[in-house]
Amino acid sequence: MAKDMTLLWGSGSPPCWRVQIALEEKNLQGYNQKLLSFEKGEHKSKQVLEINPRGQLPAFKHGNIILNESCAACLYLEHQFKSQGSQLIPEGAAEVGLIYQRIFEAQTLAQKIGEVLYYNWKVPEGERHDSAVQRNKEALTAEMKMWEGYLQGCGGFLAGKSFSLADVIIFPGFAYFFRNGGSEERYPNVAAYYKRLKDRPSIKKTWPPTWNDGPGQEVLKDI
């Protein structure tokens, strides 16, 4: 099964990482994979474009089925291999509803983190506007406070007492936040969740290799 799968990915990318975690949780080791460099522009290579015409990573293929949106790929893997490995979506309607809710909210979290980071990385310092910087930081702060509340007395995971697809999809975003200087003190529930899950086998095995080279930037230190 896994031999029919191909994953092109980039280190440190939360979307790529969530697909890797899902594959591990479903015991789908042995798939074809290739680590590409964003810095070298390899995500725009012909190999990627043949699978993902948007020139983005991850690029994932199972047989003739192509899924380049990471959440779609994770949902597909759970549906297609439901009885294999970890059950990432339970049967109960309430649990399923909460998992789906958190999965789609993950897109807002990623957007708010990205607006702060990429404004800092891509806009030359002399062209930045203090009002835009402040607005982006305030939006991310409000978003993180929301997740801090979600994790208050939640049962240990994002959608109850068991590890689920919500955790697969959202954990990489929190890791990205702390990697780039996000405050553990301001968000103790999120920090405790992050520390509890980072040693889970599927997460530890797929930890971004470039993150082992040293600490990240401190762009989010004021948030």
What pLDDT does 195 receive? 97
**pLDDT on residue 29:** 95
Supply the pLDDT for residue 78.
98
What's the rounded Cα separation, in Å, for the pair 50 and 167?
30
Task: Report the pLDDT value the prediction gives residue 164, as an integer from 0 to 100.
Answer: 98
Q: Which pLDDT value is given to residue 214? A: 76
What's the predicted TM-score (pTM) here?
0.95
DSSP state of 222: T
Give the HSE-up count for residue 216: Cα atoms under 13 Å, Cβ half-sphere: 19
Helices marked H in the chain: 14-25, 46-49, 70-80, 93-122, 130-150, 165-179, 188-197, 201-205
Secondary structure (3-state) at 16: helix
Dihedral-angle region of residue 152 (phi above 0 means left; psi in -120 to 50 means alpha; beta otherwise): beta
Query: What's the pLDDT score for residue 39?
Result: 93
Mean pLDDT, consecutive 10-residue stretches, the chain (223 aa), reads 94 98 98 96 96 97 97 98 97 95 97 93 84 93 97 91 97 97 97 97 98 86 90
Q: For residue 122, what pLDDT is reported? A: 82
Read off φ and ψ for residue 127, nearest 5 degrees: -105, 0
Q: Are the CB atoms for 117 and 216 separated by under 8 Å?
A: no
Nearest-angstrom CA–CA distance, 111 and 41: 22
> Tokens 């975003």 map to which residue?
173
Domains of the chain by start residue, with CATH: 2-81 (3.40.30.10), 93-211 (1.20.1050.10)
